[in-house]
Amino acid sequence: MRVLPNYAADDTGLPTSTAGGGIGDIEWFEDTKGILVEVTMAEGRTQTMMEIWPIKRHHVDFKEKYTEDADSIFIAPSIFSDSLRQIKFVADDSKGRNRIRPYRIDDFLSFLETAEHLYAG
């Protein structure tokens, strides 16, 4: 496993902001598989407007740069209903080639407690 954070961090390693424009927050690799992790504190309409389409673009760029076997994970305090609809559209429009797996922060932490791999395939 290899993890590449693209965000700014303080001197203790804690994130101070998300990654700059054009790249994902965290690039995670498990053998030949890749997972792009995007994190936000945005909620509601702001989340939908500011996050989903950039995640889709980052996901496509990530796949082109590293591997076709790639997932994206979107983590937020809550997942707004319009965000879920956009995420479903991204998957449907690409015939499943561009998947974004949304998680509330608490649900993602629970997932990590039992998951052997981050990549879901």
pTM attached to this predicted model: 0.92
- Phi then psi for residue 73, to 5 deg, are -120, 130
Q: From start to end of 51-96, where are the E strands?
A: 70-76
Mean pLDDT of the chain: 93
Over residues 42-99, the pLDDT tens digits come to: 999 999 999 999 999 999 999 999 999 999 999 999 999 999 999 999 999 999 899 9
Query: Is the pLDDT confidence value at 120 over 90?
Result: no
Confidence at residue 110, expressed as pLDDT on a 0 to 100 scale: 97
b/e burial code for range 65-99 (CB count within 10 A of at least 16 → b): eeeeebbbbbbbeebbeebeebbeebeeeeeeebb
Return the minimum-mean-pLDDT range out of 1-5, 21-25, 73-77. 21-25
CA angle 68/74/77 to nearest 5° reads 170
pLDDT grade, residue 15 (50/70/90)?
Answer: confident
